[in-house]
């Protein structure tokens, strides 16, 4: 600038250099963390449904991020903190547990879940406020469960909801292709290369599982 005959103070130059200079992120991005540790990360969340008399019923699901495999689900009318902690025990039998568990800040999780996870060797990661993308895979499954299943079924009671959710999860894990898995299923199935194609009804024909039979 001086060679061009333009005089400016050092402070003025620093002011505009700060605005023009890009600063690399100081820490690891959330997407990078998930990509690096997906095989050791589970996520959990609640889905609220209603029965025939418009009474609320809650479904808690645990999903593995790397495979999109829904590892456990349970339903209840009263999701207390003690009940939620018990479902974590049921989802991690024989010491099979992830290193990280993503959950939101819902009061239904509470301190009992965090204490049990800590004793089991699981690090609980709470999502930021109003940041659903931090738990995007679990949120996407719950959206699919609602759009592809519960929006088309009249739920009678909590036991009926549990049966419906269980059947849909079986279809989701073993039969429904996933774009994030290159059109594969979370649980790989042995399929013969040749044979007739049959359509197996799911949820009374709401969906179909197409397979080859020898």
Q: Is residue 199 part of a domain?
A: no
Is 103 within a domain? Answer: yes
Residue 82 lies in a domain: yes
Structural domain of 96? 30-189
- Tell me, yes or no, whether 112 lies in a domain: yes
Residues facing 120 on adjacent strands? none
Q: Which residue has the higher pLDDT, 123 or 30?
A: 123
Residue 22 lies in a domain: no
State the average pLDDT over residues 54-72: 96
Answer whether residue 209 is part of any domain: no
Is 13 part of any domain?
A: no
Q: How confident is the model at residue 78 (pLDDT cuts 50, 70, 90)?
A: very high
- Model confidence band, residue 138 (pLDDT cutoffs 50, 70, 90): very high
Q: Is the dihedral of CA 205, 70, 178, 155 positive or negative?
A: positive
Residue 46 domain-assigned (yes or no): yes
Considering its fold, how many domains does the chain have in total?
1
The CATH number of residue 183's host domain is 3.30.420.10
- Classify 38 as helix, strand or coil: helix
The answer, as to whether pTM is greater than 0.85, is no
User: Would you place residue 72 in the very low, low, confident or very high pLDDT band (cuts 50, 70, 90)?
Assistant: very high
151-207 pLDDT, tens digit each: 999 999 999 999 999 999 999 999 998 888 888 899 987 777 788 889 999 999 999
111, two tokens: 């301190």
Q: How many CA atoms lie within 13 A of 41 on its CB side?
A: 22
Identify which of 137, 165, 133, 131 has the alpha carbon closest to the alpha carbon of residue 67. 137
């Amino acid at each position: 600038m001086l060679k061009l005959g333009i005089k400016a103070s050092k402070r003025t130059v620093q002011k505009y250099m700060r605005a023009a200079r890009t600063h690399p992120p100081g820490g690891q991005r959330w997407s990078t963390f998930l990509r690096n540790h997906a095989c050791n990360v589970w996520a959990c969340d609640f889905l609220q449904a209603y029965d025939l008399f418009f009474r609320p019923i809650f479904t808690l699901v645990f999903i593995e991020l790397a495979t999109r495999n829904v590892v456990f689900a349970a339903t209840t009318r009263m999701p207390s903190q003690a009940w939620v902690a018990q479902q974590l025990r049921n989802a991690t039998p024989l010491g099979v547990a992830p290193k990280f568990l993503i959950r939101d800040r819902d009061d239904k999780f509470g301190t009992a879940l965090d204490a049990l996870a800590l004793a089991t060797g699981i690090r609980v990661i709470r999502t930021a406020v109003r940041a659903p993308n931090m738990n995007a895979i679990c949120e996407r499954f719950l959206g699919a469960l609602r759009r592809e299943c519960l929006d088309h079924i009249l739920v009678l009671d909590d036991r009926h909801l549990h049966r419906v959710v269980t059947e849909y999860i079986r279809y989701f894990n073993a039969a429904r292709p996933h774009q994030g898995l290159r059109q594969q299923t979370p649980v790989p199935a042995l399929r013969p290369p040749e044979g007739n194609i049959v359509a197996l009804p799911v949820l009374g024909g709401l969906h179909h599982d197409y397979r080859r039979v020898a």
